[in-house]
Amino acid sequence: MRASFGFGSPNLMAAGLLLVALVVGMFVLAPARDKGDFLKSDLATAEANLQTLQAEVDRTKAAEAKLPLADTERQKLLLSVPAGLDQDQLILDLKRIGEAAKVSLNAISFSLQPERYGAQTVSVVANFTGRYEELMALLTALENNSRLFRVNSIGVQLSDSDDDGAPLMNFSVTLEAYYQ
């Protein structure tokens, strides 16, 4: 004789268990599947970011390879931009440069400039007297000086003549001197 459990036949009982398993599976597995999809999209985003960062690292390494600086070059660069403004030394530097170019330094004025691109500058207007050739020598000396200068403008005005009859000129040089 067959035992009856109130559900009918064993096939009906298996179908009921299968239905319960499907309902439980939908409530348990659906969120897990959604979380898996979310993690896949996060992984794709992270891989794209990694590729972007790797490309940036490669560009930086390529740029670094093109611009090698030896320690001596770095030291030279640091020396060309002295620590602190030190106006007295700046005046002495300009006087020495002028004497080397055989021009006389007549007047000098300073004006601190706002910091730009991380560099601190002082604007300098210096007035020299000399011949044209000496002006060219002055500009070359400023360019070749160990301290970093940037010439912004030059004004030239004819003056008297020297003892040899050569015309003298007054040079007004506006430049920027850098400091740390």
| Total number of domains in the chain | 2
**String of DSSP letters for 9-60:** SHHHHHHHHHHHHHHHHHHHHHHHHHHHHHHHHHHHHHHHHHHHHHHHHHHH
Distance of CA 56 to the CA centre of its chain: 15
How far apart are the C-alpha atoms of 112 and 40, rounded to whole Å?
57
How far apart are the C-alpha atoms of 1 and 51, rounded to whole Å?
72
Q: What confidence tens digit (pLDDT) does each residue in 63-105 have? A: 776 665 566 666 666 666 666 667 888 888 889 999 999 998 8
User: Per-residue confidence at 116, pLDDT binned at 50, 70, 90?
Assistant: confident
The answer to whether the CB of 135 falls within 8 A of the CB of 174 is no
Q: What confidence tens digit (pLDDT) does each residue in 13-58 have? A: 788 888 888 887 777 777 777 777 777 888 888 888 889 888 888 8
Q: Which domain holds residue 113?
A: 83-179
Considering the domain architecture, whether residues 43 and 88 belong to the same structural domain is answered as no
Q: Is 73 part of a structural domain of the chain? A: no
Considering the domain architecture, whether residues 167 and 109 belong to the same structural domain is answered as yes
pTM, 2 dp: 0.52
- The CATH number assigned to the domain holding 174 equals 3.30.70.60
Q: Is 78 part of a structural domain of the chain? A: no
Considering the domain architecture, whether residues 91 and 165 belong to the same structural domain is answered as yes
Considering the domain architecture, whether residues 37 and 123 belong to the same structural domain is answered as no
Considering the domain architecture, whether residues 97 and 37 belong to the same structural domain is answered as no
- Of 68, 94, 111, at which residue does a domain stop? 68
Q: Is 150 part of a structural domain of the chain? A: yes
Q: Is 107 part of a structural domain of the chain? A: yes
Q: Is 121 part of a structural domain of the chain? A: yes
Instruction: Give Cα separations from 5 to 2, 13, 68, 89, 131 (angstroms).
Output: 10, 9, 87, 108, 123
Considering the domain architecture, whether residues 53 and 123 belong to the same structural domain is answered as no
Q: Is 165 part of a structural domain of the chain? A: yes
